[in-house]
A = this chain, B = another copy of it.
Amino acid sequence: MSQPTAPAPEDLATLAVKTLKFLAIDGVEKAFSGHPGLPMGAADMAFVLWSRYLRHDPADPHWADRDRFVLSPGHGSMLLYALLHLSGYDLTLDDLKSFRQWGSRTPGHPEAHLTPGVECTTGPLGQGFANGVGMALAAQMTQANYPGLYHHRIWGIVSDGDMMEGISHEAASLAGHLQLGNLVYLYDDNKITLDGALGDTMSEDVAARFAAYGWHVQRVDGHDHAAIAAAIDGAVAQGVKPSLILCRTHIGNGAPNKHDTHKVHGEPLGPTEMEATRKALGWPTDKTFWVPDAVKALWHTRAEAMASEHAAWRAHELRWMAEHPGLSERYVSTRDRVVPTDLLAQLAAAAPAQTDATRSLAGAIEQRVAELVPSFAGGDADLGGSTKTPIKASGKISATDFSGRNIRFGIREHAMGAIANGMALYGHHIPFTATFLTFSDYMRPAIRLAALTGTRVIHVFTHDSIFLGEDGPTHQAVEHVAALRLIPNVDVWRPADAVECAAAWAGAIQRTDGPSEIVLSRQKVAMPTSPTRPGDAARGGYVRVRESGGAPDVVFLATGSETGLAEEAARVLKAEGLRVRVVSMPCIEVFARQDGDYRASVLPPQGVRVSVEAGRTDGWWRWVGEHGLPIGIDGFGASAPAEVLAEKYGLTAKQVAGRVREFLGR
């Protein structure tokens, strides 16, 4: 790690901070929409951090050894955009002037996939906090495996809202447990929320709380540059604990009438207060989006220094690779997240020949994923024994050993999701998480952000229906598969057998532009009537059992454990002389992306379509049509053994065949 740059002369620092404030004020004012208060209050700490500590190269936002910066309160986005612009990222003044407009790279809240230099998408509070923990964890894991190569840190600004959200507790507790000494958060402690004074809703001692988590905690005046720098130096110097610096700030600092009030939180200052602020801070009233030359020069100097750092590191990387011939290949493979092109074939070859619960089948195949894909790592929320996801050949991550690939997230599903997002955004990792399907509800905000950001994260969800049995309706997923399918840009796999499990893993690993869910049964599934072909399964939907003698009377569409059920019901109906096709649909989204000819070859116009899935039927109408029959479960489950539930909920082969017969009027 480099030494901090010397502080700028006081006058220049003051000018630079004002520039940040007015870029934010002007951006919000021009958009007639936004949050000026946070940028104004946090400009000092952001200036100190970005001008002296943050090690990055604006010319290459993907430099692997860069520091990461997270703005967890994403509503302060104009501060981040101003910093990126001034630092020299590919973000112009015109971009700043297009704040919150259609097609701009400066949306209301920062979006990682849109804007160079934005490390993660933030806005929903608490997510950024946990993303940063994920980045710090990923950095520790990478540094443990490739010692001496990287020297970066994870920095962030966090807010009252982050502190109140439960996810901050989960992430902070785990960060303290794992002693992530490479993580430094500046807490914008401004005592104001959108609706009023923080004291109206919160009176906890945040410093004591974080000390209880095992964090290094300091308090400073958030407008005193020397104090902020000293605290950052202190955080870095101790180096073994994650660090929280409580920066007492004044929201809207500089606005003579609105500062320290919630009026400056979520709306433009307005012309009158903007004028008053310009006067109070001695800023030209006839210029907007103005950057004084001295401030430009300051950031330019910083960018040049950073370019040198980057160049030096490039040389260091080459040297390191030469000195570590044994590690280099694996290093490049993880850095570039290399995946074998024949992954599907290799995983299909590893598919168990005997059937079992899909959680067990997928767990066995996952071991092969871990062998073939070195950047694959992850863990579970205290259910590894049940989800079958721990990587057997690898060790557990702990505060004293980050070299393994198994992360024990604890009973912290929401943070698990957001930490996995942070790991994926950090790079070097294709992360996975695992828990019961019903707890996907706890993770939903994180899954949504992975989808929005196009982040490759894999969520394994087991115990995927009422057929988990005795644990009862609190633990029985009914609506969750359908609800996951509703989030845009999510692939939801619910495999029916070992080969489909292989296809799910291959699809999830090879997909680079969004998250995949792998949904698995607790109970054993049936063996397919004839062997599943990997290429079929990989198309998301295929003919599993073909009718004989003319167009089908009935076309079953099924997923997961109900595919075997549909096959069995088909046998009953075939014996009665019906022509029955069974279509397996392990991933509706992938199937929907196939060309029309293929889709029509799987789902012909003839025949009554019957979907069978042990969950909500709502989404199936699209596929069965208004004259079709969706069979599923539209209410809650119950506590009883699985075989009893099958009977009670009409999901035995005999009952399904009976319903189809009745529906056909036979």
- Which one of B212, B411, B618 contacts A618 once the chains associate, using CB atoms below 8 Å? B618
Q: Which residue of B33, B75, B478, B628 contacts A488 across the interface (Cβ within 8 Å)?
A: B478
**Interface residue A164 (Cβ < 8 Å from any Cβ of B):** yes
A238 on interface, CB distance cutoff 8 Å: no
Of the 9-residue stretches A2-10, A199-207, A332-340, which lies at the interface with chain B?
A199-207
Residue among B111, B385, B410, B445 making CB contact with A164, cutoff 8 Å: B410
B124 contacts A201, CB within 8 Å? Answer: no
Say yes or no for A483: interface residue by CB 8 A criterion. Answer: yes
Interface centre among A212, A214, A449, A486 (most CB of B within 10 A): A486
Residues of B near A208 (CB, < 8 A) are 208-209, 211-212
Compute how far the CA of A409 lies from the CA of B202 in the bound complex, rounded to whole angstroms.
Answer: 9
Q: How close is A373's CB to chain B, nearest CB, in angstroms?
A: 24
Q: Does A193 contact B (CB under 8 A)?
A: yes
Could you give, for residues 622-666 of chain A, a 1 whenever the CB lies within 8 Å of some chain B CB and a 0 otherwise?
100111100000111011110011001000000000000000000
**Interface centre among A206, A408, A474, by most B CB within 10 Å?**
A474
Q: Are B383 and A195 in contact (CB under 8 A)?
A: yes
**CB <8 Å contact, A177 and B203:** yes
Contact B438 A124 (CB under 8 A): yes
Q: Which residue of B lies closest to A194 (CB)?
A: B382
- Confirm or deny: A246 has a beta carbon within 8 angstroms of a beta carbon on chain B: no
A168 on the interface (CB 8 Å rule)? Answer: yes
Chain B residues in 8 Å Cβ range of A60: none
Inter-subunit contact B488/A165 (CB<8 Å) = no
Inter-subunit contact B214/A212 (CB<8 Å): no
Residue interface mask A360-391, B partner, CB < 8 A = 1: 00000000000000000000101111100000
Contact B34–A125 (Cβ < 8 Å):
no
Taking a contact as CB atoms closer than 8 A, the residue among B123, B382, B411, B482 that contacts A474 in the complex is B123
Number of chain copies forming the complex: 2
- Complex Cα distance, B33 from A475, in Å, reads 14
A176 within 8 Å of B by Cβ? yes
Docked pose: A639 CA to B486 CA in angstroms: 21
Give the top 10 A-B pairs by smallest Cβ distance, nearest first.
A166-B166, A107-B639, A169-B169, A625-B626, A201-B410, A123-B474, A102-B640, A208-B212, A108-B472, A621-B622
- Render A163-206 as a binary contact track against B, CB cut-off 8 A, 1 for contact: 01111111001101100000000000000011100001111111
Determine the distance from Cα of A538 to Cα of B599 in the docked complex, in whole angstroms.
41
Point out the residue from B212, B411, B638 that lies within 8 Å of A160, measured CB to CB. B411
Kindly state the separation between the CA atoms of A214 and B471 in the bound complex, as whole angstroms: 35
The one of B123, B165, B384 that contacts A411, using a Cβ cutoff of 8 Å: B165
A636 touches B213 (CB 8 A): no
Query: Quick check: A109 and B472 within 8 Å, CB to CB?
Result: yes
Q: Please name all residues of chain B whose beta carbon is closer than 8 Å to the beta carbon of A385 when the two chains form the complex.
A: 194-195
Q: Please name all residues of chain B whose beta carbon is closer than 8 Å to the beta carbon of A638 when the two chains form the complex.
A: 102, 107
A153 CB–B CB distance under 8 Å: no
From B31, B33, B408, contact of A201 by CB (8 A): B408
A505 at the interface (CB under 8 A from B): no
| CB closest chain-B residue, reference A625 | B626
Chain B nearest CB: distance from A437 CB in Å? 12
Q: List 25 A-B contacts (CB under 8 A).
A: A33-B469, A101-B640, A102-B638, A102-B641, A102-B648, A103-B640, A107-B473, A107-B638, A109-B472, A109-B475, A111-B473, A123-B475, A126-B166, A161-B382, A165-B170, A166-B166, A176-B204, A201-B408, A204-B213, A207-B212, A209-B212, A441-B448, A449-B474, A485-B618, A486-B618
